[in-house]
């Protein structure tokens, strides 16, 4: 493990450089009014023993206030799914137990663990709130996931193909948002939305309705007609090919670029078809785009689509998929 005492914004933005088997972690620990007395330890399980990996805070740590240790060290850690399930966190609270001769304090503790996503942003991995009575001057608490698969399921392990889909969306969103004088809102990847897209694509249930936003594409045939398409080609069909047409013919474009949308997940399914191959491409979005479009019409009755597409917010729900931190 490599301890990183400080990390600049450029390094944070390039967290994907950690590789597919590494993440940045950070801890937020809330204690009593004497937070400087609190320490923590990261350990891994090796056979039946726990082996210390790293600990903190380092000497001279400055707290945000008396009872909140915020940010602190960042760790670039190597892990695999099996290893991560054995990861534990410990902090030692040395409480100011006796304010008067006869009174034991109640100590409120709050711990959050976040990891740096492969594309952007911090994601909550685990949190715990605990209110209890301090009974000793050196109390150790080990924290483990309730389900051994819980942590590994929450890590956003994007495949190379997932990254192509996400990059294809965000490259276009950045160009369109900034060109029209708006701040760029990138999409985040959702494995839950990808799983929903997978169910739809594999079953080919074309009449199925979803409350989430959706874009579909397909190609079929023999030879090159039945080849797996690069995500960039699908994105070109959805955006560039619809750039000069109006609503609703450009509904793929508006969903891809919808600024109030924050999450996407895509999946592709292939099946044999008439001596060749058929490929179905599905992307799901939250919050859904193309929302309340009927409210945006000109005096001449023409549909205005650019304004609602670029708005900061829109009324359609759900806002987030279940695996999102919102």
pLDDT score, position 132: 39
**Same domain membership, residue 22 and residue 117:** yes
Contact between residue 277 and residue 205 where contact means Cβ atoms under 8 Å apart: no
Residue 125: inside a domain: yes
Task: Please report, for the domain that includes residue 191, its CATH number.
Answer: 3.40.33.10
**Smallest Cα–Cα separation from 38: which of 111, 128, 143?**
111
Residue 100: inside a domain: yes
**Same domain membership, residue 113 and residue 210:** no
pTM recorded for the entire structure: 0.55
**Same domain membership, residue 113 and residue 190:** no
**Same domain membership, residue 149 and residue 255:** no
pLDDT score, position 176: 97
* Residue 322 CB contacts under 8 Å (≥ 6 apart), including other chains: 192
- What is the spatial distance between Cα 269 and Cα 218, in angstroms, rounded to a whole number? 9
**Same domain membership, residue 117 and residue 81:** yes
**Same domain membership, residue 196 and residue 237:** yes
Q: What is the total count of domains within the chain?
A: 2
pLDDT score, position 155: 46
List the pLDDT tens digit at each of the 326 positions of the chain. 223 333 334 433 333 344 444 455 555 555 555 555 555 666 555 666 666 666 665 555 544 444 444 433 333 333 332 233 333 333 343 333 222 222 223 333 445 555 444 444 455 555 554 433 334 434 444 444 433 333 444 444 678 889 899 999 999 999 999 999 999 999 988 888 998 898 888 776 444 455 566 888 877 777 776 677 899 999 999 999 999 999 999 999 999 999 999 999 999 987 776 778 888 899 999 999 999 998 998 766 677 999 999 999 999 999 999 877 66
How deeply is 162 buried, as exposed, middle or buried, from its count of CB atoms within 10 A (0-12, 13-18, 19+)?
Answer: buried
**Which of 103, 134, 154 represents a domain boundary (last residue)?**
154
Domain span at 10:
2-154
pLDDT score, position 277: 83
Residue 128: inside a domain: yes
Contact between residue 308 and residue 314 where contact means Cβ atoms under 8 Å apart: yes
**Same domain membership, residue 40 and residue 112:** yes
Residue 316: inside a domain: no
Residue 323: inside a domain: no
pLDDT score, position 135: 41
Q: How close are the terminal C-alpha atoms of the chain, in Å?
A: 30
Residue 315: inside a domain: no
**Same domain membership, residue 78 and residue 196:** no
Residue 324: inside a domain: no
pLDDT score, position 49: 63
Q: Angle, to 10 degrees, between the axis of helix 160-179 and the axis of helix 231-238? A: 30
**Same domain membership, residue 202 and residue 120:** no
Residue 223: inside a domain: yes
pLDDT score, position 312: 93
pLDDT score, position 51: 64
**Which of 104, 121, 154 represents a domain boundary (last residue)?**
154
**Same domain membership, residue 166 and residue 305:** yes
The residues that bridge with 277 in the sheet, in sequence order, are 221, 272
**Which of 120, 154, 188 represents a domain boundary (last residue)?**
154
Contact between residue 248 and residue 300 where contact means Cβ atoms under 8 Å apart: no
**Same domain membership, residue 200 and residue 127:** no
pLDDT score, position 214: 80
**Same domain membership, residue 192 and residue 84:** no
């Amino acid at each position: 493990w490599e301890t990183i005492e400080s990390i600049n914004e450029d390094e944070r933005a390039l967290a994907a450089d950690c590789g597919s088997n590494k993440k940045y972690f950070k801890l937020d620990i809330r204690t009593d009014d004497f937070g400087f007395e609190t320490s923590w330890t990261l350990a891994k399980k090796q056979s039946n023993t726990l082996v210390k990996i790293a600990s903190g805070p380092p000497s001279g740590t400055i707290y945000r206030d008396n009872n909140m240790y915020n940010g602190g060290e960042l760790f670039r850690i190597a892990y695999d799914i099996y290893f991560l399930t054995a990861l534990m966190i410990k902090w030692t609270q040395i409480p100011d137990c006796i304010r008067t001769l006869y009174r034991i304090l109640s100590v409120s503790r709050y711990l959050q663990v976040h990891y740096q996503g492969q594309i952007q942003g911090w994601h909550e991995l685990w949190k715990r709130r605990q209110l209890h009575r301090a009974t000793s001057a050196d109390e150790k608490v080990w924290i483990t996931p309730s389900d051994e698969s819980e942590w590994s399921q929450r890590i956003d392990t994007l495949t190379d193909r997932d990254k192509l889909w996400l990059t294809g969306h965000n490259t276009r969103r950045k160009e369109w948002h900034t060109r029209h004088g708006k701040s760029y809102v990138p999409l985040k990847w959702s494995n839950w939305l990808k799983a929903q897209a997978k169910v739809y694509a594999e079953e080919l249930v074309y009449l199925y309705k979803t409350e989430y936003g959706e874009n579909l594409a397909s190609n079929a045939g023999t030879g090159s007609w039945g080849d797996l398409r690069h995500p960039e080609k699908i994105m070109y069909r959805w955006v560039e090919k619809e750039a000069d047409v109006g609503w609703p013919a450009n509904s793929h474009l508006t969903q891809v670029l919808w600024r109030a949308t924050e999450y996407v997940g895509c999946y592709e399914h292939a099946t044999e078809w008439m001596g060749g191959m058929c490929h179905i491409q599905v992307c799901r979005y939250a919050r859904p785009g193309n929302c309340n479009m009927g409210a945006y019409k000109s005096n001449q009755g023409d549909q205005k689509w650019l304004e609602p597409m670029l708005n900061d917010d829109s009324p359609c729900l759900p806002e987030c998929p279940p695996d999102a931190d919102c």
